[in-house]
Each structure stands twice: as structure tokens, then as C-alpha cells.
Amino acid sequence: MMKGLILNAEAKTASVQAIPIPKLDNGKRQLLIRIEAIALNPVDSLYVRNPIGETGRTVGSDFAGVVVAISPSQKHLQIGDRIAGLVQGSNSANSRPGAFAEYLLLQDDDVDLVWKVPSWMTLEDAAGVSLCGLTAAQGAFYRLGIPAPFSWAGKSSSVATASAKGEDGTTTVLIYGASTSLGLYAAQLVNLGFGGKRNLRLIGLASKSKFEMLKKEPYHYTHLLDYHSPDWPSQVREMVGEQGVDYALDCISEGDTVRNILSTLGKEPHNKVAIFRSKQSRAWDSDGIDTSKAIYGAVWEGLGHDIVYGNGMNIRATEESRNFTVGFYNWLSSGRGKLEPNPIRLMPGGLERIVPDGFALLGGGRMEDRDGVRERTEEWMRPVSAEKLVYKISD
């Protein structure tokens, strides 16, 4: 038996329970991983508080661990390899595996959706890369068409090529929520995508307290503005002139953020903003605005499975979106592009403390929920800012 964090949909919580350790079926393509560390994402907390999965599902998405058993057909991995990846957990109505357990069994196509952790990176650091890094890459490269530092099978000709429209050949990319976990990866990937081959003006919207960090490598913002300032859109428009912003990533996608970013975009067909919450979520205000330039997508598209939410919003997987995930993870494995892991907060207590501590910090998934837990005085219960919450599962 092993421990796993198991959803109780009726009580809208999760608890650590003893469940069987999965076993390989030699007739299938499978991979058994001993989980060493997991990272929390707001979606993990959201769908425990507002469950759409059934009771008994294992919770959690991001993981890092060690291969302990493998089917004979597997050639790209070996027992003892340190790997990381993501699974869907209880974040849909589908019956999909979850990562918050001592062991995880991947099978069939899922075994391709992992990457080898380089020797310079700890498993605790690697745990927070897979979901957030892939989400940022999908937004920047797959949806907006910003040049990618890697290729993937079946790349469609419909994927745009980034265009520089400024008189000086400058391409302007704006990232709202620059100090969020998603924003930190987005900045790195945009910089790696352009690779110094053309002028890049990278504008970040964040709290002033994060400016010094964001100016430095690997984020290297050329301009930073305070997103608490009510006139930041006019500041952006003054900065970029008639060209407008070429591409934008809204890493928060709440309230007026999409509306304000759209007001800074240029008029060319390629000028678009990648958003990470759907209109159905009602997280952002879409009333009275043209959302044709706001491109939404969910990270789960990259798993290669149709996703059912049970509220009329279903996400269809495509072969190309899955190929993109494989290409991105192969790139991480290769070491050709060094993606720095986000800063982490190593949380104490393992699986047993995820719900009372980690999920309490993340709240219901909105930014205003992440202001810490006022009645808690422990240092690790301070508000979450520019870091991932990580738990060690195995010693």
C-alpha cells in the first residue's frame, strides 16, 4: 500500500488515504515512478473546493520523481532516471491519474509526457516546471506564434510567425502578471524564442517590489510598470506609440485585465493576447468587448485526451497540441535551452499538510485569495508571491 491525497467530492476536501501501489502490466506500455516532490497549482485547490471529479480520485498535477519500473517496450527511459511531468489529477470529470501520491503509474501515450531532469536541477525545483512551463509555452509559441526555440511534429502552417512592425524592427511583447509563476516562465521562453535575433521590447506588469528581480536574468525585462497603477494602459500606449503591442500574455486573466490589455494592442491581424481563463469561468469581464483577439487555451489540450468539465465546457485534444507538448518536454530533456525553475517555497509536512497549509494559501484560485492565512503565524504561511509551493513526498 501507499499514501495518496484522495478527493472527497461530497465534502469538498481531500484527505490522505492508503491505496494500492499500482503494478505494471507487461502487456502494456507503462512507467512506474516513485514520487519525490510535487508542486501545487491553483487549479489543484480550485477543483477540490469546487469538485467536478468523483470521490476517490487522486488529486494533483505536477510531479518529479525516479523511474522504478518500466515496460520492456520503453527505450527512451531507464530505471533510476530522474523525471518530471504533469498529469490531470481530479481537475476534470474524466477518470485521469493524479500525482499527489507516493507512486504514479503512467501508461500508453502518457509515458511520452515526461522529461529528464538535468543534473544541475533538484527534483524539488523540477516539480514546479511541467504544468506552468508548458502553459507559458503554449500561450507564447503555440497560440501567439512567437518564434519557438524548439520544433514539434506536425507543426501547422496556420501557426503564425512573429512579425516586427516597429520602424526600428522592434517587436513588443507585454506580459501582465510578470511575477506570477506563469509570468516568470513566459518571460524566459519569450527571450529564448527570440534568441537575440531581433530587437525585443519586453514589457512587464507587476508589483514594484518585484522590479529588481525581473530586470535581471533570466527574465530581462526592458520595461516594467506597476500593475496597481490605474493608468498603466495609457503608460504602455505612450511607450509603444502607434505600433501598439505586438503580442501579450495575460497571466492573471481576471476582472478588467483582458479589456485593458486589448486597449494596448496594435491593429495588425497578428496582434493578439493569450489568456488562460475561459469566458465561461467569468473570471474576467468580457461584456462589450471584441474578444476575437483574446486567444484562450487550456494546458490539458497538450495531454492528448478530450477533457470533460461537466458544465457544457469540453476541451478537444488535437494531435498537434500533444505533439507540441512532446516537443517542449524533449527540449527540456535535451538541455539545449536552459529553463531556470521558478523560485520555490519548500513546505513542511508532506502529503498530510497539502490541504490545511498549501490549499489554504492558494484559496479558490483567484489572486485575491492568495494573501496568506491571517490567523496562521508560521513563516511558511506567508502570502504567496513569485514562487511555487513544493512538498517533498519521499525521503
Query: Which segments of the chain does DSSP mark as H helices, in order?
Result: 42-49, 123-126, 130-137, 181-194, 211-215, 232-240, 257-262, 319-334, 360-362
- 132-320 CATH pick, 2.60.40.10, 3.40.50.1970, 2.30.30.90, 3.40.50.720: 3.40.50.720
d(CA 347, CA 72): 37
- Report residue 120 as a C-alpha cell: 544541475
Query: Do 187 and 146 contact (CB within 8 A), yes or no?
Result: no
Same-fold call for 2-129+341-392 versus 132-320: no
The ranges assigned to domains in the chain are 2-129+341-392, 132-320
The Cα angle at residue 223 between residues 220 and 228, in degrees rounded to 5: 115
Cβ count within 10 A of residue 328: 28
Measured CA to CA in angstroms, residue 98 lies from 44, 200, 334 at distances of 10, 39, 26
Range list of H helices, 265-394: 319-334, 360-362
One digit per residue, the tens of pLDDT, for the chain of length 395 reads 999 999 999 999 999 999 999 998 877 889 999 999 999 999 999 999 999 889 999 999 999 999 999 988 777 899 999 999 999 888 888 888 899 999 999 988 889 899 999 999 999 999 999 999 999 999 999 999 999 999 998 775 334 444 544 556 789 999 999 999 999 999 999 999 998 656 899 999 999 999 999 999 999 999 999 999 999 999 999 999 999 999 999 999 999 999 999 999 999 999 999 999 877 677 788 787 777 899 988 899 999 888 887 666 788 888 999 999 999 999 999 988 789 999 999 999 999 999 999 999 998 655 555 555 778 899 999 988 889 999 999 75
The domain covering 2-129+341-392 belongs, at the CATH homologous superfamily level, to Medium-chain alcohol dehydrogenases, catalytic domain (3.90.180.10)
Q: What share of the chain is helix, strand, coil (3-state, %, to 5)?
A: 30, 25, 45
**Considering only CA atoms, which of 165, 163, 174 is closest in space to residue 236?**
174
